[in-house]
Amino acid sequence: MKLSELPRMSEKRKKRIGRGHGSGRGGHTSTRGNKGQRSRGKIALMFEGTKIKKSLLKRLPLFRGKGKFKSRQPETLIINLKYLNVFGKNEEVTLESLKAKGILAQDQPIRKIKILGDGEIGVPLKIFLPVSKAAKEKIEKAGGQVMTMKEEK
């Protein structure tokens, strides 16, 4: 093997800060500047100094009690395919029709709904709600359709 035929190395090594002049970033300050707190040691991420009267953490809202770590977004309500067998042939499945058939409570607030593929479906339906892949396959196998969402008023 000849020296002239060696492959070129395109990667350069990382400059190690503060490891002497040979490292590429040596010298007595090593990119930290001259004086002050930042040149001498580490500072906590949330440190804001003494001039600010209230720190960021104190200004954030405080949630009290048991549910302070709970998500504030509405939960997704899951409906399995086996419950949709109460619908007739080629009926439309929407939020209102689910409430009319008694699958959802009448006074239940509107939230996210998704239809999952647990169970079998025997009637072809037109579904205007989000569905999982498995549910979509079973609905189309039964002769139904999964439509795009209807604009609700």
- 59 SS3 class: helix
pLDDT along the chain (153 residues), means of 10: 85 82 83 88 79 71 81 85 92 91 84 90 93 94 84 47
**Hey, what are 49's tokens?**
């100094």
pTM of the model: 0.52
Give the whole-angstrom CA distance, residue 151 versus residue 53. Answer: 50
Q: Is the dihedral of CA 62, 63, 68, 72 positive or negative?
A: negative
Question: What is the pLDDT at residue 84?
Answer: 92
Q: Give the closest residue to 125 by CA, choosing from 98, 152, 153, 104.
A: 98
What count of other Cβ atoms lies within 10 Å of the Cβ of residue 138? 19
Domains of the chain: 15-41 (no CATH), 77-146 (3.100.10.10)
Give the whole-angstrom CA distance, residue 3 versus residue 80. Answer: 69
Contact 111, 74 (CB under 8 A): yes
Question: What is the pLDDT at residue 112?
Answer: 86
Give the whole-angstrom CA distance, residue 100 versus residue 93. Answer: 10
Question: What is the pLDDT at residue 153?
Answer: 43
- 115 SS3 class: strand
Question: What is the pLDDT at residue 87?
Answer: 93
Question: What is the pLDDT at residue 51?
Answer: 64
